[in-house]
Amino acid sequence: MADILVITGLSGAGRSATAAVLEDLGWYVVDNLPTSLVDTIVDLASVPGSEIERLALVAGRQHLELMPKVAAMRASGHQVRVIYLDASDAELIKRYESSRRRHPLDGETSGLLESIQLERRLLEPMKGDCDLVIDTTELNVHQLKSKLVGAFEVSALERLQVSVESFGFKHGLPLDADIVMDVRFLPNPHWEEGLRALTGLDHQVREFVLDREECSSFLLGLVSLLETVLPHYAAEGKSYLTIAIGCTGGHHRSVAVAEEVGRRLRLSGQPVRVSHRDITR
């Protein structure tokens, strides 16, 4: 049976860039695929002796028609995962104006923003059924590649892959977060002269944040909660889970706490990737 990835999401959010990265990672990529040809491509990849072990299908305009196909492929025994690419309206507008390309829904609305918002509304029902949501608003090509490599470097393992991400609330919530925790209740190292220029990766900041009783209690409760719910997410067939931990700017408290949550989950045997969205802002 084939290992299949389906790439969908908003136009301009990075489907072509994702296809190029996956091709570099050794996936056989079929871009802009008409839904009517999905069965044919999957059958070709599944015949005995086929050299296609990992197949990536990039959706064309018929996104909504893909999900019944995904269900059918899974029922046939294929391992199928769906990636949904998202980005903010402002970023999508900037990308379209830079590339001077027309939006696929141009002509059905009165302008670019209206086309983006219409497509977002049309695709929103399927977003929750996807295995991995990637917000590309702040990602360049190299950062996108790093995210994809991290997500699929252990793709043969049939277990939940957890990503813990720090962020700053003043820069907006991560669009791809499944669980969001707010650590702004902790004292802020920003107001300590000797700590302001450091980050949560520095031991001085880690000690300032983690050694407090309120932080210790929070971490104990959070990790206990995660250890309880993660097996149930996996049992429901979820392949990826993003836990976003936020403070004001994303430099100190959220970074230190995210690193500690990742460390404790690894000790329990859970594979975890830790990243820091706003640490360099």
pLDDT, one tens digit per residue, over 205-243 is 999 999 999 999 999 999 999 999 998 887 776 778 999
- The residue among 41, 43, 32 whose CA lies nearest residue 7 is 32
- Reading phi first (left if > 0) and then psi (alpha if -120 to 50, else beta), residue 27 is in beta
- Encode pLDDT of 60-71 as tens digits: 777 777 788 888
Describe the crossing of helices 213-235 and 203-210 by its angle, rounded to 10 degrees: 90
In whole angstroms, give the CA distance from residue 196 to residue 205: 9
182: confidence class by pLDDT, cuts 50, 70, 90: very high
CATH architecture observed for domain 3-152: 3-Layer(aba) Sandwich (3.40)
158: confidence class by pLDDT, cuts 50, 70, 90: very low
Could you state, in order of their start, the residue ranges of all structural domains in the chain?
A: 3-152, 161-276
pLDDT (0 to 100) of residue 32: 82
User: Quick check: 38 and 67 in contact, CB under 8 A?
Assistant: no
Burial class of 132 by CB neighbour count within 10 A (0 to 12, 13 to 18, 19+): buried
Token pair, residue 226, equals: 């995660």
Token pair, residue 107, equals: 């002509």
pLDDT (0 to 100) of residue 107: 80
21: confidence class by pLDDT, cuts 50, 70, 90: confident
pLDDT (0 to 100) of residue 164: 97
The residue among 159 and 18 whose pLDDT is bigger is 18
Q: What sign does the CA torsion over 196, 202, 204, 206 have? A: positive
pLDDT (0 to 100) of residue 201: 97
pTM over 0.75: no
Residue 25: strand, helix, or coil: coil
User: Quick check: 12 and 93 in contact, CB under 8 A?
Assistant: no
Q: For the residues 262-277, what does the mean pLDDT come to? A: 92
Percent of the chain with pLDDT over 90: 50
User: Quick check: 92 and 12 in contact, CB under 8 A?
Assistant: yes
Least confident of 38-42, 81-85, 145-149, 221-225: 145-149
- The distance in angstroms from the start CA to the end CA of the chain is 44
Average pLDDT over the chain, rounded to whole? 88
Q: For the residues 41-51, what does the mean pLDDT come to? A: 82
